[in-house]
Structure 1
Amino acid sequence: MKIARADMDDMLARGFAFGSHLQQRRAYYATIFAATAADH
C-alpha cells in the first residue's frame, strides 16, 4: 500500500500509532541495503 507523504504526516500528527511499525521497516530495509553493499 502506498501512502502519500502528506497523508502519512497527517496521520502521524493525529496520533496514529505507526512508530513501532515504521522502526521495524527501517531495520528491515537497513539489513537489505547492508547486504547489497557487502555484495558489491
Structure 2
Amino acid sequence: MMISQVIGNSCHICFMSCCLLIIQNVLCLSAAVYKVNQPFLD
C-alpha cells in the first residue's frame, strides 16, 4: 500500500470523526504522518 493512501485513509476517517474542524483535522493529519514515519524513527 502506498504511504499516500495510508495518510489519505487516515485523514478521511479523521475528517469524519472530527466533524470537519480544521484544527482537529490538522492534528489528525500530523498524527497520521507520525504513525507512518514512526517505524523509521525507531
- Normalising by structure 2, report the TM-score: 0.42
Please identify which structure carries the higher helix content: 2
Greater relative contact order: 1 or 2 (C-alpha under 8 angstroms, separation 6 or more)?
Answer: 2
Q: Which has the larger radius of gyration?
A: 1
- Normalising by structure 1, report the TM-score: 0.44
